[in-house]
Structure 1
Amino acid sequence: MEDILRPIYQERASMQSTLGILSFEKRINASSITDTFDYVLFVIVNEADESVFVKHYTYNDQKAALHIVEEAQLKDWLLLGTNRKVVEWIQNGKILFDKNEYLSNLKKELREFPFYGRKVKMGIEFAKLIRRYMDGKAFFENGHFLDAYNNIVHSLHHLARLEIIDQGFYPEVTLWNQVRHMEPEIFKLYEELVSSEEPLEKRIELLFLASEFLIYSRTNLGSQHLLEIMDTNEGSWSIAELMEHPELTHYSVDLSVLLEYLIDKNVIEEIKVETKGHEVYHRYYRASKLF
């Protein structure tokens, strides 16, 4: 198939904007990684009219997909973890064109996972974890057990991803296979939730009890990025200032619920500032000196 597609990727390789091209072939029992296609050509460019452009080809009984992705979009995917199959393509794909060793360096970066990138990703995962955990608890308390179950499953996913990232790895498509070996305690919680024969309500109740300590024990880890940013200002922060900070924009949607959780755990302090209204105060935040 590569020979058939050679003219296509050679044309892309000749373009000034192309940084790298790699190929990835479908594996047995892992067709979801290529969206069922037999062959993927992945092209990274430094600028394009569209951040993502996809084209499909067929030859005899085989299918191929061409993905052209702008570098800025790729960096967002890698930071946010919103397109995990791309990590698989980069890590295990075959390099066909590599301008100034762009792809070689990217592969190395994914293997070594720089610490700064880990801190940001852990902050994002922890904020999502708290959102799902708090939402799940609220659904459970109101008797909406299926909605509670959905949220607690997602919270375990974020907890698992947080643990994998802390150990210096990118979460893979087969996340729970990673977790089984790296953090069996979290895997056991997930297995009990989805496989136990206990009534659903009982399963969720037990999981909330078990996961509360696991989440709290990772609070320092998950909030490190946010606290470091807050420490850059000797005073306090408004919610608007935090949400507008360029390093927090990726998880600003979950920032309010994260702040409430951190206040409850004495990680962040609430600062009240008087307004013109009687007994109405502005609410500001700063990192606690006690934590």
Structure 2
Amino acid sequence: MEQILRPIYQERASSPETLGVILLEKRTDGDPVTDTFDEILLIITSNNDIPIYTKHYTEGTGKAAMHVISEKQLRKWLLLGTKRKVVDWLFYGKIYFDRNEFVEKLKEELKEYPFHGRRVKMGLELSKLVRTYMEGKSFFDRKDFMDSYHHAVQSLHHLARLAIIESGLSPEVTVWSQVKKLDPAIYKLYEELILSEEPIEKRLELMFLASEFFIHNRTVDGARHILDIMSAKSNWTIQELHEHEELRMYSINLEVLIEFLVDKGLIEIVKSESKNEFVFHRDYSVKLSQ
């Protein structure tokens, strides 16, 4: 397939808008990292008019996918962590074209993690962790153990990613292989949840108790991004928080994170008068000790 694709990526490389061309070959049959394709051709472009453009190719029994991704879209994926396989494409693919070492510099950025970028990622993972943990605990309290188990696994996945980001690395598709080396205690908790022969109710009870400790220890660092933003002024309405450019990334998890940080004493409630003398507006402020 590589010979078939060569004229395609050579043509793309000749465009002044092309920043990099990467080719990734499958490692095993049905490899999910390549979406089961034999090869992935990733082309990064400076043209942001079309964030994503995809084509599929076939030759004999082989198949390949070409993804033309704008730099803006790529950086958004990397920041939000919504396309984890793209990290694998960047690190394990073969670079065929690299304008002004764009790809190599991007890979170095991912390795070194600009501090601000790490804080954003930690905040996003904390918000997802809090939501899945709370939903799982709610199902557990109602004795809906299978639904609770589903959310418990999700929350441990977010906890694992948070631990990886905290260490300065980028979460890969093989998150648990990374965590086993970086934080064996979290790996052990995950292992006990899915492999233990204890009744599911007992496994979930132990998982939720232990997770409280792990979440507590990472709350301040995980919330540093949102706390830094909120420190810019004395108090915020919830609408102002939703409209802030960076906090928009938290999406549906923003409010549950705010309430979680209120409970933890990191954010305090500020009451302000409304048109109704019996009802107050509920605004938010970073606690001064922070």
After TM superposition, is the score higher than 0.5?
Answer: yes
Task: Tell me how far 1:107 sits from its aligned partner.
Answer: 1.5
Q: Cα 1:177–1:253, aligned 2, differ >3 Å: closer, same or farther? A: same
Match of 1:203 in 2: 203
What letter is aligned with 1:248? L
1:136·1:151 contact (CA, 8 Å) conserved in 2?
yes
Matches within 5 A, 1:1-291: 1-28=1-28, 31-47=31-47, 49-233=49-233, 235-291=234-290
Quote the sequence identity (%).
54
Q: Alpha-carbon deviations, 1:138-177, whole Å to 9, x = none? A: 1111222111111111111111101100111100100000
Letter in 1 for 2:106: L
Quick check: 2:235–2:283 contact (8 Å CA) kept in 1?
yes
Runs (5+) with no aligned partner, structure 1: none
Per-residue deviation at 1:245?
Answer: 0.8
Distance 2:103 2:218 in 1: 33
- SS in structure 2 of the partner of residue 22 of structure 1: strand
TM-score norm. by structure 1 comes to 0.96
Quote the Cα distance in structure 2 between the aligned partners of 1:218 and 1:30: 37
* CA-to-aligned-CA distance 1:21-59 (integer Å, 9 cap, x gap): 111111136711111111111001112553212211122
RMSD, aligned α-carbons: 1.4
Amino acid in structure 2 at the alignment position of 1:144? D
Amino acid at match of 1:66: M
The secondary structure found in structure 1 opposite 2:223 is helix
Q: 2:88 and 2:129 mapped to 1: Cα distance? A: 24
Q: Flag the 1:30–1:224 CA change in 2: closer, same or farther, 3 A.
A: farther
Output the amino acid matched with 1:273: S
SS of alignment partner, residue 218 of structure 1: helix
AA matched with 1:255? L
> Is the CA contact (8 Å cut-off) linking 1:266 and 1:290 kept in structure 2?
no
- The answer to which of 86-95 and 51-60 deviates more is 51-60
CA distance in 2, matches of 1:74, 1:197: 42
TM-score after normalising by structure 2: 0.96
What displacement does 1:82 show?
A: 0.9
Which stretch of structure 1 is more off in the superposition, 65-74 or 122-131? 65-74
Structure 2 CA distance for aligned equivalents of residues 144 and 13 of structure 1: 54
Q: Aligned equivalents of 2:265 and 2:104: distance in 1?
A: 44
- 216-225 vs 142-151, greater mean Cα deviation: 142-151
CA contact (8 A) 1:91 1:110 kept: no
- AA aligned opposite 1:97: F
Contact kept, 8 Å, 1:20 with 1:44, in 2: the verdict is: yes
Deviations 1:211-262 (A, max 9, x none): 11110111111110011011111x1111111111111111032111111111
CA contact (8 A) 2:29 2:36 kept: no
**How much does 1:135 deviate?**
1.1
Asked whether the 8 Å contact 2:48–2:72 carries over to 1, the reply is: no
